Structure 1
């Protein structure tokens, strides 16, 4: 075959994927709902912390251990499922995860005890470990790289929306029907979503890893794909390492929010269960607004030629640092109103970091390896969940008073988040790293 003919074949062998906007937005809606359920499941223990601790006579350390048990297999399962995503469809993976969410809520309904709470949380964590990364991977299969900013923000917005909805609804169930009722309802909702997804959740046209459109040289013929690269090279780039750091700092605050913020509001600020739930909903609403606002800002900056390093890399880094500063300040503020504003900044601002660290990672990873790398980033980035809740419980028990223990925990979070945010700020450089890897850099979200 003549050289020009071979070149022509490489470029024409795989036609551009046919877009289906209605189906793409249906999948987006399902994945947003998936994330709502995900975070409702994740939040239920924290929202029920006070009645569970009272009924089972748990110490802060024991409750912290139960909270951390959610992350015992969380990161490992995220890594394993990330690699499985190269051979299994997103339809199968998300269906299986959600069925396990339903099953994980059942042990404590049979026998309420520390062992059943631990068993349920460990299974739930294993099933939710890959949830954010794999649902984002599934979503990316329905949108080209230049149109992923809004869907990405909506997907992560589902997490904030999940807490916003779950806080008052789950609290109402707990107060009206007992904390077990919340577990039963969430099990049913998870099972229903799984059945709907099995019928509608097919993989999209931008799934280059499964279309078979690769050349003998390994170069992908799909738009934006590239040669498979050693994972060692991908994971050692500053952009991926910085994205992991950003995720790590955000995850420390998120794990504290899920495990201890409801109890802190009730025991240290003397809030009722309903007032604490309303406060958590407001914080989640603030995070959701930030997520929806960041997408057009990133798009506008990229359209004006601003590099990904500053448009999406700096944004996530600064968000983590701002949240850290608020975390350091609020334990020392006497005014309740000012303290609540700082609590909102500390636990709401980090929402920005979550979609952006996926976007910056995607810019330096071949499409066929994106699911696996997303799994690795999520697996390492969420490791704080294994440490922060348990450490906080020990600090509360060891402090002169619970208030001193909480302050020590929040200052520890501040140090971790500041280091993580600064590392991300200095390391994330998608254009540079894509060039070094030999990839055709184009932004993973937003116009360019």
Structure 2
């Protein structure tokens, strides 16, 4: 049954005006469940190469540098496709975008099943990266179409939580397939799951009522054929001006630092746990699942807490801006420390902090960007943030492989790579804490709207 939520008055640029359209709670949460599942499959696809790294490297006789190159190839078109699809989202429905993406995910698993070689591994990862580049930002954009601004905290946390849940679930399941049935079986399973999700989404995943891009496209109210005042009144600001605000730059920085740790986790953490800490495959998978579980708990706790703090008058700068920068800082400190603990209990805890804490920054950086960006331009800006914030994936895995090959021992190569990662995370975390000021930037942009419209 539809209900009419009451939106609180807001002066922040890009938020819904008072009296948003009604929405169906059941359908909104059904779409949320589909998007959480979408993120589970998304991160299972990303994780499979890292989980299968040791048997693939042994079978194909790959060096660390070659494997790192294959892993980084996933990000060759990742950022570009995120950017392109972000701008296309104002003209193409989220239903269509997510449907096409997941079909391509399924196709991307096939080349290596035909011929297991470096070129087919790279081809599959490049295609998969191109289709997954827009996944996080466009699924968040689709989710926001079903919830008003003041009710997005929990859905946002659940969407990003799907990423942690994907790693938590996929690590033991894919490891079991890899060890008991060969690494190719994991690719077959992921192709089938991706195709199945796409077919189900086509029947369920219609765009929601909080869709200013649809109003802007048609200029008419849904199902009534009358001009929609939201379309005429929606403010538009030059993208250059939006991108140069401290809040957007700081949000990109926090995403950059978190993404550096995430790309290392996906590409090298399973191999590090097995070869340097001497874990068996299932023990390494359990450790990765535990880290993902820790991230999931943080995501389900911190993002809703931000909504509570905001409802009590805490500014977005401190409730979500400082929180996302601080999370990256904590993860960076742990990243710098754990290589020197020699696999102790403290070392395992620090590994969890290093690779699990930064995930908090992901939903929060979308929330802070959304507070200063006009809703009609949100999809495009989400694409830009995702594209630039995930650039570490193009660098970190390949760089790590080269450092390991060039070092006297693999252990010292890993240590160097982790220290470089820590430095990147500390710098980006500090920048995020200092520069994210949503209320200040939204007010400054709103004051210049006449100039923006001229």
Q: Under TM normalisation by the shorter chain, which class is it?
A: over 0.9
Q: Does 1:105 align with 2:109?
A: yes
Structure 2 counterparts to residues 258-273 of structure 1, below 5 A: 258-273=266-281
Q: Does 1:182 align with 2:186?
A: yes
Structure 2 counterparts to residues 133-172 of structure 1, below 5 A: 133-172=137-176
Provide Cα deviations, 1:40-94, integer angstroms capped at 9, x if missing partner: 0000000000000000000000000000000000000000000000000000000
- State the TM-score, normalizing by the size of structure 1: 0.93
State the secondary structure of the residue aligned to 1:438: helix
Structure 2 counterparts to residues 307-326 of structure 1, below 5 A: 307-326=315-334
Name the structure 1 match of 2:264. Answer: 256
Distance in 2 separating the partners of 1:335 and 1:413: 19
Name the structure 1 match of 2:283. Answer: 275
Moved more, 165-174 or 290-299: 290-299
Q: Does 1:93 align with 2:94?
A: no
Alpha-carbon distance, 1:304 to partner: 1.5
Distance in 2 separating the partners of 1:391 and 1:353: 24
Name the structure 2 match of 1:207. Answer: 211
Name the structure 2 match of 1:424. Answer: 432
State the secondary structure of the residue aligned to 2:62: coil
Name the structure 1 match of 2:239. Answer: 231
Distance in 2 separating the partners of 1:71 and 1:110: 22
Between Structure 1 and Structure 2, how many residues are aligned? 425
Unaligned residue ranges in structure 2 (runs of 5+): 1-16, 221-226, 449-454
**Aligned partners of 2:137 and 2:386 also within 8 Å:** yes
State the secondary structure of the residue aligned to 1:228: coil
Residue 378 to residue 72, structure 1, CA distance change in 2 (3 Å): same
State the secondary structure of the residue aligned to 2:203: helix
Name the structure 2 match of 1:197. Answer: 201
Name the structure 1 match of 2:372. Answer: 364
**Aligned partners of 2:109 and 2:191 also within 8 Å:** yes
Unaligned residue ranges in structure 1 (runs of 5+): 1-12, 441-448
Distance in 2 separating the partners of 1:15 and 1:361: 22
Q: Does 1:434 align with 2:434?
A: no
Residue 439 to residue 225, structure 1, CA distance change in 2 (3 Å): farther
Provide Cα deviations, 1:244-298, integer angstroms capped at 9, x if missing partner: 0000000000000000000000000000000000000000000000000012321
Provide Cα deviations, 1:120-169, integer angstroms capped at 9, x if missing partner: 00000000000000000000000000000000000000000000000000
Name the structure 2 match of 1:340. Answer: 348
Alpha-carbon distance, 1:19 to partner: 1.2
Q: Does 1:288 align with 2:292?
A: no
